[in-house]
Chain A
Amino acid sequence: MSEQLSADIVVIGSGIVGSLAARRLALQGASVLILEAGPRLNRGRVVAAFRNSPIKGNWMGAYPPSPWAPHPIYVPKDNGYLKQAGPYPYPAEYIRAVGGTTWHWAAMAWRLVPNDVRIKTLYGVGVDWPMTYEELDPWYQEAEELIGVAGAPDTGSPRSQPFPMEPVAEPWSMRRFCERLAPAYAVVANTVARNSRSYGGRPACVGNNSCQPICPVNAQYIGENAVAAAEAAGVRLIENAVVYRIEHDAQGRIAAVHYFDPDKGTHRVTGKTFILAANGIESPKLLLLSASDKYPNGLANGSDMVGRHLMDHPSSSITFYADEELWLGRGPQSPSSINTLRDGAFRSQHAPYRLDFTNISQVLSVTQDLIKEGVYGAEFDKQLRWRAAHQVSLKNVLEVLPDPDNRITLSSEKDAMGIPKPEAHYSIGDYTRRGADVSKADFTRIAELMGGTGLRYSADGQFANNQHITGTMSMGNDPKTSVVDGFGRTHDHENLFICSTGVMPTAATMNSTLTAIALALRTAEHILPKPADVHAAALNAEREASLS
């Protein structure tokens, strides 16, 4: 090894969460080094690869895993990276590359609703968070201004400052849903990290409708933007650095991390403070991998909670034909939803949910259906046009409760670098299943209001995965039942922090990224506080810059 690598702060993982924490710390004057297992990607090449792919519905197609840092792939077949121990599959998708998984996301940047952090107290289920919603509010705001969030005010998440941007223009289909479902259901614009106007040096959405696998014009904030912001702030990033061990000293402080380069050369990086930000599956994997004589169960795992409480947002859905032409596929893929069922006294009985309308072009799925049905010739053209114009679909986004038996462990199988693969143990509990049952009545009612025909419900007991990996390194005040404290510091190691969706102790009903960013900014502040005036000035400068 030619270079002794060292920094004040070493961050493992260059996703949107770790990069924004790194950026904030670098702006505070710390030397910050990010280690990223995957390679750098180029947006134009991802766009070209997507356009060139014959399998348009495969959002991972443009992100092939690198041999040294594999990630799960399921199309055309499971690459066997994320082992499934059952009983229910947990087919998470994520991307190991510079910028992380938000290379493809729908840019959903939801806040929690206030009661989400108190469900144990209020409803006797799950756990409470070690903080209030009000404490999170300023961190949400900082996160929203950084990544440029557009949203409508009435989603159940109060805020003390306005959104950085007005909502993105409503596609025709969503306007019709909004008009026809009122007053039974309030359909509102989603809260998204997508530009409704120029913001942060990026253009407004022009409606390519390919948010996943890639926003081709950079209207949607992704991890690549966070990495660029971090590097502009002075952060150094080493790509293709596969961390395989975290090393502690005799006192239990973290002394160094070790990584493989793609040729399996080993490198040791020392630092004063370490931040683990390698997502909700790879992070616990790394903690478990770093077991030592002093910590035989792995690092930060005195509680045996590392990897446990694995959660997601399972979804069931309905597809039907509306009685008017709606032509899904214009504008963003996920523009609007119903948010009134995210909280209520019923939470003591069944899972709350958000109802989310898809706006993905139906041409592909309708074509597949017609071919399956054996329709061809002129009738095919006619049917394709009619169905693509009329077919709509909505899904629920259900809360799951933390269950210690749902967990990530180390598989006995190893990847090409000789590192054990992660293994998912997962099941979907009755609380969630009851929520799905209840939501079925909403599906039916909404279909009726839209004059729906050909109603197709997803099979009972079948749920789609939403890639919102939460819970595996939960935060809490009690070191016996949680991995990190309310500021993301591991209970067991004074200088090891975790910034990840994995620290969220419950999953609530919203996509987890914005909350993880807000928590990470709060962690960064805890590690290296900003003087009050500097903080305000920096926020103001960002606000002004974003307007230009």
Chain B
Amino acid sequence: MKSMTGRPIPLLALICVLTSLYANAATTTDSANTEQLQRGQYLATAGDCVACHTAPGGKPFAGGLPVPTPIGTIFATNITPSKTAGIGNYTEQQFSDALRRGIRADGKQLYPAMPYTAYAQISDDDVQALYAWFMHGVNPFDTAPTPTRLPFPFNIRLSMAAWNLLFLDSKPFTPDPGQSAEWNRGAYLVRGLAHCSTCHTPRNLLMAEQSSRELAGGDVGTWHAPNITSDADSGIGGWSESDLIAYMKLGHAIGRAQAAGPMAEVVDNSLQHLTATDLQAIATYLKTVPAQHDPADTRAVDTWGAAFDELDSLRGVALPSDPNQMTGAQLYDAYCASCHQDRGQGSFDGGLPSLFHNTATGRTNTNNLVMVILDGISWPADGSGVHMPGFAQTLTDQQVATLGSYLLKHYGNPAAVISADQVKTLRAGGAPSHLVLLARLALIVILLVLVAIIVMLMRRRRRKALPAGP
């Protein structure tokens, strides 16, 4: 891939300086410049760069966020234009290579925690605008984040070259002439900048996206990024485009689903800021993503359950002294009903969501339900704030399992289950990954095979060298 644009920004800056003596010319150039910077900022928002490249409470884009991955913790880098700690010395070509090929300025490989496999789709024009904004629109901060130190063999960044050979498709997005401009814009955003597949597409054993199962659902740490293909049961096939737009704009689609965990961050940092045209384009495209059906979903995941209460089992009955003996109905009454109401119906305007007809209780993968109970939901949402308290400090593993099972049974998919062990695992940050061990074992196997081949070759040579028998 080759950039067609050379180094426009220093050149532009130079032009700006030179022409500043001539008001008219300067105005034109300035406005072109301003427009490009604005576009770059918008694209960076669409790309949600800030999500990983800003630590909680840290300076914007100064990096430092620890990103837990199956091969160890990767620390996001400083991508401010700081010349010492950030990317201030990057040329546009180097910037483009990092973004779209996963190669940083010193020629070393990035880990694919950076979604360059998706960003590879970004157009040259957009890379140029992004570069302009990161160089001139972002404040430089000279703080160097903790360097990433992964265990062997992943500490050898060259190992990623082999991975890229297998899994990186570095061709930029090519529009499908058979589809509308709107669809193509949506596809460009979904596959590229918005990098939806990074979370929503399942990954193979080597942590690469399974392209044949685009957006069929994947796991992000302890959270599950659900199926968002056009399948009517497992995905968003039953959603209208306006449902999808509402979800992206507001973080919830009433009577269907609401964003929590990492998705709430995506809405907060990125999606809600996109133009109506772009949100429409994304919705248009998502509705055409080939359906991926999960046979476990016997009906649409947002159609389970109904209003229900077990108040009769509560009134006049003393609470058990052992909290783990509390029934689902007792737990619901104590911890949930104050917002979600006595029958799980939520508030009249949907501001406090109903627990039935809600993907939170309709999926067979119940990790998100557990995570929401443990961590709650909290994001600013147009100033008023979306806030569900987390109960990690309040409820035991058994209580979460009892409560969650009660919710699934009455308001959700009764075939789904939550166990105390599952809660315990998720509370601890998820199941440990064996990828490092696997990689090391694989290396030993390869080594043994190599040794075997060498030994075999040597023996053959020795045999050849032996004199023929008499």
Contact = CB atoms under 8 A, between A and B. Distances in A.
Interface stretch (B47-55, B225-233, B312-320, B420-428): B312-320
B339 to A, nearest CB: 6
Interface residues of A, number: 26
A125 interface: no
Contacts of B347: 206
A203 B387 contact: yes
Given A48-B334, A208-B338, A548 B380 contact: yes
Interface string A441-485: 000000000000000000000000000000000000000000000
B57 interface: yes
Given A204-B384, A204-B385, A217 B339 contact: yes
A495 interface: no
Given A197-B385, A203-B385, A204-B384, 19 more contacts: A42-B394, A44-B335, A47-B334, A48-B330, A51-B314, A51-B337, A52-B314, A197-B384, A198-B380, A198-B386, A199-B385, A201-B378, A206-B338, A217-B338, A217-B389, A544-B57, A545-B57, A548-B378, A548-B380
A45 B319 contact: yes
B295 interface: no
A258 interface: no
A284 interface: no
A202 interface: yes
Given A52-B314, A201-B378, A218 B389 contact: yes
B74 to A, nearest CB: 23
B352 interface: yes
B246 interface: no
B383 interface: yes
B143 to A, nearest CB: 17
Contacts of A208: 338
B333 interface: yes
A44 B339 contact: no
A244 B387 CA distance: 43
A217 B333 CA distance: 12
Given A48-B319, A202-B389, A204-B387, A216 B338 contact: yes
B389 A45 contact: no
16 contacts: A42-B323, A42-B394, A43-B394, A44-B335, A47-B335, A49-B319, A51-B333, A52-B316, A52-B317, A197-B383, A198-B385, A202-B389, A203-B385, A203-B389, A206-B347, A541-B57
B388 A203 contact: yes
Contacts of B331: 44
Contact of A44 (B314, B385, B386, B394): B394
Contacts of B388: 203
A538 interface: no
Contacts of B386: 198
A208 B333 CA distance: 13
A547 interface: yes
Contacts of B337: 51
A43 B323 CA distance: 13
Contacts of A216: 338
B318 to A, nearest CB: 8
Contacts of B383: 197
B334 A206 contact: no
B231 to A, nearest CB: 34
Interface in B261-318: 314-317
Interface string A529-548: 00000000000010011011
